[in-house]
Amino acid sequence: MAADIQRILVVDDESAILELLRDALTGAGYEIDTAEDARSALDLIKDNLYDVAILDFALPDMNGVMLHHEMRRLDSELAERTLFISGHAQSDDDLGYFFSSGSGFLAKPFEIADVLREVHKLLAVDA
C-alpha cells in the first residue's frame, strides 16, 4: 500500500502527546497527520490512505473501540494496523478487544522506542 514514505494517523486529545508522536515519527521518516477527536480522524481516513493508525483510547467524542469499529467500516486494512495507547485503566473487555483485534497496545506513559517498535511490527504485516 505504502509508496516511499509511509503515512501514520495519530489520534489523541492531548496536544503534548500529538506533538511528541509527530516529532518522533517524523524524525523516523514517516509522514504524520494528527487529529484531536474521533470525528476529525474519521474525516481524515475518508480522504487519505494511511499505513498505520495510533489511537488514544479515551477521546472526547467516542472511545477507541467505537472509533476502531468505524475505521474497520471505512478502511479495513488500516483497522488491522492500529496501535492503541492509553493512560487510563481499561476493563478486561477493552483489553480483550485490543488483543483479539490483533492491534497493538501501549500504556501511557510510553517510551518512543516502544512506539517505533510497535509501528514497525504493524508495517511488517504488509511485507
In a domain, 2, yes or no: no
Residue that the C-alpha cell 522506542 belongs to? 113
Q: What is the domain-level CATH number for residue 55?
A: 3.40.50.2300
The total of structural domains in the chain comes to 1
Q: What is the mean pLDDT of residues 40-49?
A: 98
Angstrom distance (rounded) from CA 57 to CA 118: 16
* DSSP-assigned beta bridge partners for residue 11: 35, 55
Is residue 1 assigned to a domain? no
Full-model pTM: 0.90
- Tell me the residue range of the domain where 77 lies: 7-122
Summarised one tens digit per residue, pLDDT across range 9-38 is 999 999 999 999 999 999 999 999 999 999
Q: pLDDT band for 1, please (50, 70, 90 cuts).
A: very low
51-88 pLDDT tens trace? 999 999 889 999 888 999 999 999 999 999 999 998 76
* Residue 2 in this model has a pLDDT that exceeds 50: no
